[in-house]
Structure 1
Amino acid sequence: MKRYGWTVSSWGIALVLTLPILALIVEALLPAEDIFRHLWASVLPAYIGNTFWLVSLVMGLSLLFGLPAAWLMAMCELPGRRWLQWALILPLAMPSYIVAFVYTDLLDYSGPVQLALRDWFGWQSAGDYYFPPIRSLGGAALVLGLVLYPYVYLLGRTAFLEQSTSLIQSSRLLGCTPWQSFCRVSLPLARPAIAVGLSLVAMETLAEFGTVNFFAVNTLTTAVYDTWLGYGSLQAAAKISAIMLLVVMVLLSLERMSRKRQQVFQKSMGHEQEAGYRLTGGRKWAALAFCWGLVGLGFLLPFVILCYHAVRYFDQAWNARFFEYSLNSLVLSAVVAVLGLAIALLLGMTHRLKGKRHTVLPLRLAAMGYALPGTVLAIGVLVPLTMMDFAINDLALWLSLPEPGLLLTGTMTAIAFGYLVRFGAMAIGAVESSLNKVSPSLDMVTQTMGYGPAAMIRRVHLPLIRKGMLAGALLVFIECMKELPAALLLRPFNFQTLATYVYQFVSDEQLELGALPAIVIVLVGLIPLIFLNRSLEQHH
């Protein structure tokens, strides 16, 4: 039994973690009920159209913001470049719905920008001038573009840094201008990495709930949320979720294809020396204004406004509820991070010890949940857990015992399980990556010395992969702290996390009172960015 214990355990965990996806597919394949048919005939086509345009616009804006910034940081010499290349990642730490509220407050009809314009030019009403509405599909795309462009920037910059300088110099010797060299050499080589970045942006946009709901832009994500909470129809919500699942699978397939091509393009490229286009005069100032403008609009301005509100309304925000919800978030995130790490170690070690094809499949299955948008995941979790709750209560009734009620869906079990399914992939990826760097010869030497699997893991592997384990657990912890849509759908009654607490204030247009917990979320979100920046600096 010992021989098969590792394999059986890893398969068991993988199947439990894929249960929400399987349940979602089964529920979606059942005959359609009246609510879904009504939604399909009335609003769903418009929601699908909105989702398509939103994803397309955000991808376009992320490319427009991220790609020039990546090239400038990798290829040009600019004053303060070392600080700037790190600062350009910062918008990732800022929840998009907070940025949405800040810009709505600034740019609405009653906001300071339009008040100033009316004051300067003597305009009396909205009929005297045109100002683009921030609460629109375009406004949502702009906010998400400012928050998500770092995906394209990070992968693009890494790809440019890895390119052979001799190729770029050769193109210059052949008479290419810097622009022609970029178009004919740098961009084609970086294209697969940029495609991966854009697919990540597309999946994040598809999963976005806070901003689109606040701006009243109806997408498939809001449709899932409204169908479950508004109509109370789990089956209709599951069918809409299945449509989103299909879109995610298409995006993942495109991303995998890009990655295959990336391996072919950049197999033996190396950045032999610092490439340096020395920008001067107007070009230098334009490049600095563009890059610092992105940092300012995507992070600094919202953060300064949050700090202002947090100081001004500190007495009202610093209360028992703030501490209670902070504790809720910390405990929940810590529990999921520890469980995620334990699962990652079990799956990673099983594959390491057995080293067979059938042990890599549980790893891949267990990591599938990360691709699911939060609302889709929540429905996938609710379907099996609701059935289990009914079964437990029916069993208690049959045994003449008191019915336990909502034992799974009415407690922290549902939200913890949902987070584990979605974010466990991060711990799995970090542990697997660290284990791959440990030489197989160490395993052979340890076995020769007579150590069993448990002793080998304890004495050899764990000390060597300690940093990877910490990074994985930390990433899971931070993502759990920030997660909003899954928390809104899966939390028990009268249970709030910091994310749902802040979003409640945003929905009521009272972000001033939620600024303090919002700053906590942002500061926690900065931790992985500091790790990421350090690792990038070590590589280059």
Structure 2
Amino acid sequence: MAETRYAAHGSRRRLSSGTRLLGGLAYAIATACLLPMVAVALAALTGGTETLSHLLETVLPGYAATTLLLVALVAAGTFAVGVGAAWLVTMTRFPGVRLLEIALVLPLAFPAYVLAYAYTFVLDHPGVVQTTLRQVTGWGPRDYWFPEIRSTEGAAVMLILVLYPYVYLLARAAFLQQSASAFLAARALGTGPWAAFWRVSLPMARPAIAGGVLLAVMETIADFGTVAYFGVQTFATGIYTSWFSMADRAAAAQLALCLLGFALLLAVAERTQRGKARYYQSGRRHAGLPAGELTGWRALGAFTLCAVPVVLGFVLPVVILVQMGLESEQDLLSRRYVGFIRNSLTLAGTAAVVTVTAAICVGFFQRLRPGRRSDGAAYLARLGYAVPGGVIAVGLIVPFAAFDNALDAWMRAQFGLSTGLLITGSIWLLIAAYMVRFLAAALGAYEGGQSMVHANMDAAARSLGQGPLGTLRRIHLPILTPSLLTALLIVFVDVMKELPATLIMRPFNFDTLAVQAYRLASDERLEGAAVPSLVILAMGLLPVILICRQVGRGK
């Protein structure tokens, strides 16, 4: 009997020890995610009012107006394309619909800045379209008007083409989950199909659609590569210009604080609308929405409307990039490019492992000890998805640069030695920025798989003497392997595409494929930029293929 009590006491002690370890790690991760935002706020508030006054008088109104215009255009465009395509493939049947409902996800593999390089090569003044137009008509450069691709509107189109799949996926899932009862009742009362869509189906899917649009908007304010290449002056480009071109850290921090406030406002709006908007089905979902057969010109019109985003957002850019790559002098197998690929894989692979490990710590601790503290840690860990990469970069460099400088000064004074920059400019600080930025994506994938692990499994493991770490290692991780692999892949590809944080924080002479593509495009060597862009695209196709498989099984 004494041995039994001792074993039980030992089990509780192991459980408490493991929980404390996970709790300490979860709180440390949450603190790391909060640090960039606090550092940006402190640096901005201590930067002096002179810089802020100068910004208000010069560039700040322009940055704000351009950013808001870009956000409005992308929100409207992704809503129209995403919801329209989702409704057509869900509610109608026409030749090619099965192929299109999967192909509509493919543009998600493209970074917006890569799409910008491809279309600039074709549509700019020296491009094939305008050159052919001048040759056919005999016009001079001033004899005709052509839409300017390097503009706010052009940047909005690029972002719409790569971000509408967020809205499409969530809207399609919402339409598929709706019961036919309300829709058929509206039709029975004399409402036409279009009116029933606007009055019944669309309001019921509003929470999912709003979530997709807000995701697209947050990606828009975080974008740097597209707006920088097109010369569009937004908060993202202003941060980079202030940091590098003007060497004004205070201005960069204050611009970052403005962008951070806007991003957090959107995050709060997304959480609020998701929490309050509820539409309940009466009874069980016994039948899905009825799909109508389209023939003739209606079928052709539906096919065209769904095919245009796929062609413009994936097929045509791939063809252009391949042609550009074949015409370039870039050798993907050269020693220099092998270095770019190695650097990209090193950053992406390490960041993926670190980020998913952090997600496991936060997610499993929340399961072990549900409550305000663990929920708060998980909420802070998710904030990074709403913070642009440039803001995170500024927020991490400012405190760690101060620490490095203080340590170096102390070592010089005490021992006559210079420690230099131990943390700032290191690969590990850049990986920390990636973890903060993409931890929310890893947490989402992990929690989706964790919901499949029944609580009885945890109880059975405890009854057999397993502590938290043993339960995690022997029960959870084997079951969660598919979800963890998905999380690893998503973070890996996101890091491969990330540009602003990499540009600001990368170690000296440590360039990646994204940096090389941006550098070549900035020098107007678009053919050369196509080569690293194609490699980034190939990597981006991996998670999109997984999503396409899920879409194919959606029905």
Deviations 1:457-498 (A, max 9, x none): 222111111111111111111111110111111111111011
Is the CA contact 1:163–1:270 (under 8 Å) kept in the aligned structure 2?
A: yes
CA gap 1:273/1:380 in 2 versus in 1, 3 angstroms? same
- In the alignment, which residue of structure 1 is the partner of 2:193? 178
Which of 29-38 and 218-227 deviates more?
A: 29-38
- In structure 1, distance between residues paired with 2:459 and 2:20: 20
Aligned with 1:104 (options 116, 120, 124): 120
Quick one: which amino acid aligns to residue 343 of structure 1? A
- In structure 1, distance between residues paired with 2:282 and 2:540: 33
- In the alignment, which residue of structure 2 is the partner of 1:322? 337
- In the alignment, which residue of structure 2 is the partner of 1:58? 74
Q: Does 1:237 align with 2:252?
A: yes
- In the alignment, which residue of structure 2 is the partner of 1:145? 160
Quick one: which amino acid aligns to residue 526 of structure 1? L
CA gap 1:456/1:165 in 2 versus in 1, 3 angstroms? same
Is the CA contact 1:162–1:271 (under 8 Å) kept in the aligned structure 2?
A: no
- In the alignment, which residue of structure 2 is the partner of 1:76? 92
Deviations 1:381-403 (A, max 9, x none): 11111112112212322331521
Is the CA contact 1:163–1:271 (under 8 Å) kept in the aligned structure 2?
A: no
Alignment of 1:241-280 (within 5 A): 241-265=256-280, 270=285, 272-273=287-288, 275-280=290-295
CA gap 1:129/1:253 in 2 versus in 1, 3 angstroms? same
* TM-score, structure 2 normalization: 0.93
- In the alignment, which residue of structure 2 is the partner of 1:527? 542
- In structure 2, distance between residues paired with 1:267 and 1:15: 43
- In the alignment, which residue of structure 1 is the partner of 2:409? 394
Deviations 1:143-169 (A, max 9, x none): 211121111111111111111123222
The alpha-carbon deviation at position 512 of structure 1 amounts to 1.2
- In the alignment, which residue of structure 1 is the partner of 2:110? 94
Quick one: which amino acid aligns to residue 225 of structure 1? Y
- In structure 2, distance between residues paired with 1:379 and 1:268: 52
Deviations 1:29-81 (A, max 9, x none): 22525343322211111111111111111111112222211100111102122
The alpha-carbon deviation at position 109 of structure 1 amounts to 2.3
- In structure 2, distance between residues paired with 1:169 and 1:240: 51
Which of 84-93 and 273-282 deviates more?
A: 273-282
Q: Does 1:22 align with 2:10?
A: no
Quick one: which amino acid aligns to residue 310 of structure 2? V
Which of 350-359 and 471-480 deviates more?
A: 350-359
- In the alignment, which residue of structure 2 is the partner of 1:453? 468
Quick one: which amino acid aligns to residue 162 of structure 1? Q
Aligned with 2:305 (options 266, 287, 290): 290
Q: State, as a whole percentage, how many aligned pairs show the same letter.
A: 40
- In structure 1, distance between residues paired with 2:109 and 2:458: 39
Is the CA contact 1:488–1:500 (under 8 Å) kept in the aligned structure 2?
A: yes
The alpha-carbon deviation at position 124 of structure 1 amounts to 2.9
Q: Does 1:228 align with 2:243?
A: yes
Is the CA contact 1:165–1:273 (under 8 Å) kept in the aligned structure 2?
A: yes
- In the alignment, which residue of structure 1 is the partner of 2:13? none
Is the CA contact 2:73–2:156 (under 8 Å) kept in the aligned structure 1?
A: yes
The alpha-carbon deviation at position 260 of structure 1 amounts to 2.1
- In structure 1, distance between residues paired with 2:375 and 2:534: 40
Quick one: which amino acid aligns to residue 171 of structure 2? G
- In the alignment, which residue of structure 2 is the partner of 1:41? 57
The alpha-carbon deviation at position 255 of structure 1 amounts to 1.1
DSSP-derived class of the 1:367 partner: helix
Aligned with 1:431 (options 439, 446, 449): 446
Is the CA contact 1:27–1:238 (under 8 Å) kept in the aligned structure 2?
A: yes
The alpha-carbon deviation at position 278 of structure 1 amounts to 0.9
- In structure 2, distance between residues paired with 1:232 and 1:366: 31
- In the alignment, which residue of structure 2 is the partner of 1:481? 496
- In the alignment, which residue of structure 2 is the partner of 1:125? 141
Deviations 1:177-205 (A, max 9, x none): 21112111111111221111111111111
- In structure 2, distance between residues paired with 1:441 and 1:45: 57
- In structure 1, distance between residues paired with 2:320 and 2:123: 14
Q: Does 1:506 align with 2:515?
A: no
Is the CA contact 1:189–1:266 (under 8 Å) kept in the aligned structure 2?
A: no
Structure 2 unmatched runs, 5+: 1-15
Deviations 1:208-233 (A, max 9, x none): 11111111110111111101111212
- In the alignment, which residue of structure 2 is the partner of 1:369? 384
- In structure 2, distance between residues paired with 1:236 and 1:273: 54
Deviations 1:280-311 (A, max 9, x none): 11111111112111111111111111112223
Deviations 1:329-365 (A, max 9, x none): 1011111111112211222222222233322221221
Runs (4+) of structure 1 exceeding 6 A deviation are none
The alpha-carbon deviation at position 266 of structure 1 amounts to 5.7
Deviations 1:430-458 (A, max 9, x none): 22232232111111122122222222222
CA gap 1:462/1:203 in 2 versus in 1, 3 angstroms? same
- In structure 1, distance between residues paired with 2:51 and 2:111: 33
Which of 7-16 and 481-490 deviates more?
A: 7-16
- In structure 2, distance between residues paired with 1:67 and 1:497: 36
Is the CA contact 1:427–1:476 (under 8 Å) kept in the aligned structure 2?
A: yes
CA gap 1:490/1:374 in 2 versus in 1, 3 angstroms? same
The alpha-carbon deviation at position 88 of structure 1 amounts to 0.8
Quick one: which amino acid aligns to residue 443 of structure 1? D
Alignment of 1:179-198 (within 5 A): 179-198=194-213
The alpha-carbon deviation at position 271 of structure 1 amounts to 6.9
Is the CA contact 2:236–2:390 (under 8 Å) kept in the aligned structure 1?
A: yes
The alpha-carbon deviation at position 539 of structure 1 amounts to 4.0
- In structure 2, distance between residues paired with 1:439 and 1:166: 33
Deviations 1:417-442 (A, max 9, x none): 11111112222222223223211111
- In structure 1, distance between residues paired with 2:284 and 2:204: 10
- In structure 1, distance between residues paired with 2:518 and 2:91: 40
Quick one: which amino acid aligns to residue 521 of structure 2? V
DSSP-derived class of the 1:399 partner: helix
- In the alignment, which residue of structure 2 is the partner of 1:164? 179
- In structure 1, distance between residues paired with 2:285 and 2:109: 31
DSSP-derived class of the 1:365 partner: helix
Structure 1 unmatched runs, 5+: none
Alignment of 1:346-357 (within 5 A): 346-357=361-372
CA gap 1:371/1:446 in 2 versus in 1, 3 angstroms? same
Quick one: which amino acid aligns to residue 459 of structure 1? R
